[in-house]
Structure 1
Amino acid sequence: MIVRSLEDVVGTERDVAGPGWKSRRLLLASDGLGFSMTDTIIEKDAVLELEYIHHLEACYCIQGRGQIRRFDEEKWYSLERFTLYALDQNDRHLVQALDADLRLICVFNPPLTGREVHRKDGSYAPVET
């Protein structure tokens, strides 16, 4: 059994940040569950262009308001508390926090190893086997 609080993660090597975001990695590949889970903040007014070409991701909004759209489409989808989005086709996408920070619980498959940061193309590096 794994029991870990957000307080256990903040300020450790599992607490990772980049321009416009921070990710507190609650579960990682080393935890052996086959997926990872993060508590992620997208900062107010940040617009992130991302494409996880090596990972599938699902995010559940628990705080704030934002929007998301596929990179190649014009339609924005609203993100608010208790809304999920899943990038089931490694979708290149834009995600934006609107009035305040946007807080998401994110699950990745394959799991993150821990120190990933977004590369120039918005992706994480492939998982080494």
Structure 2
Amino acid sequence: MSGEGEIEVVGGETYPIKPGTLYILDKHDEHYLRAYKNKEMTMACVFNPPITGAEVHDENGVYPLVD
């Protein structure tokens, strides 16, 4: 992972993201990830339960449950 940026949890706080940072969201927390201006950011995202890759955000910005 590389670069620097921030995560903003909607209705809450903003936290810096840099190499070595781990952030965990709960209950489908609405959030925004942003690279800092003139910076690139590369990261990995893990979903549990896993997603299939065919999901599309609905009007509320969430993925539907997969049976």
Q: TM-score normalised by the shorter chain: which range applies? A: 0.7 to 0.9
**Aligned equivalent of 1:88, options 6, 26, 48:** 26
More helix by share: 1
Q: Count how many residue pairs are aligned between Structure 1 and Structure 2.
A: 66
- Higher-strand-fraction structure: 1
Unaligned runs of 5+ in 1: 1-61
Structure 2: state its 5+ residue gaps.
none
Structure 1 residues 82 and 113: CA distance shift in structure 2, 3 A: same
> Could you say which structure has the larger radius of gyration?
1
Give the aligned CA root-mean-square deviation in angstroms.
1.6
Q: Tell me the percent identity.
A: 39
In structure 2, distance between residues paired with 1:119 and 1:78: 28
Q: Secondary structure at the match of 2:43?
A: strand
Instruction: From 28, 44, 53, give the equivalent of 1:105.
Output: 44
> Where does residue 121 of structure 1 map in the other structure?
60
Cα distance in 2 for partners of 1:91, 1:121 equals 11
TM-score by length of 2: 0.78
Listed one character per residue, the Cα deviations across residues 85-123 of structure 1 (whole Å, up to 9, x for unaligned) are: 000232111221113232111111111112224333222
TM-score normalised according to structure 1 size: 0.45
